[in-house]
Amino acid sequence: MLKIQNLKKSFVNPEGKSETVIDIEKMSLEACSQTAMFGPSGCGKSTLINLISGLLNPDSGTMEFQASDITNLDEAKRDSFRAAHLGIVFQSFYLLEGYTALENVEMAMLLNEKLIDGRARELLVSLGLEDRVHYYPSQLSVGQQQRVAVARALANKPLLLLADEPTASLDADFAKQAIDLISKKCKEQEVALLLVSHDQTVLSQFENQLSLPELNQAYKRKS
């Protein structure tokens, strides 16, 4: 489903010099697979997620999604690609404070012109939020906010869900429950999952694990 080759991304460091953060020769993900990607801070995890999602443009290399090259899409086409094919759960959930849980999920569907009657409520109910659909983010616990973020990420029936440190704000027990929930929902919806974490408890829940430090030549050169 996703095939990456010779992907590179550099940034200008505080000294004004170009510093390569991502240098990956080869990486791939299969449809409906579930993979946990790990590595220490600074190894490029969030940068890679942002490249895959189209929030950043690579300097060189190719990224193929469903056999279509998405590497050199312009900003508008990257936005369309992300809305049509990807769901994203960030460490910070970025819920809209002035909207209810239901409206947060519906808003994602409206922006992609995929509003399906009842789907937003159905997702929230399936995530155990049947009595919270009309609550605002400030009225929800951190765990409940995360569930809304997961429902929003799945709202447009994506092919791939990207989760960047989604349990960083949760304690160990709630983190395990959250990962179980995300994994279960992705299996039910036939969505591939790429989850980024440095938490060993989270990683132990995945059979497929990917070491970014081993893949990323840029990090190897710095280490």
| Cβ pair 25, 62 in contact under 8 A | no
Model pLDDT, residue 114: 64
List the 60-65 sheet strands across, edge first.
18-29, 2-12, 60-65, 68-69
CATH assignment at residue 207: 3.40.50.300
User: What is the maximum span of the chain, computed from C-alpha positions, in angstroms?
Assistant: 53
Owning domain of residue 120: 2-222
pTM: 0.90
Model pLDDT, residue 1: 93
Which DSSP letter does residue 143 get? H
Model pLDDT, residue 34: 97
Model pLDDT, residue 115: 66
Ramachandran area for residue 91 (φ above 0: left; ψ -120 to 50: alpha; else beta): alpha
Mean pLDDT by runs of 10 across the 223 residues of the chain is: 96 92 97 95 91 93 92 88 90 91 92 75 93 97 91 92 86 81 91 91 91 94 81
Model pLDDT, residue 90: 84
Please tell me the total count of domains within the chain. 1
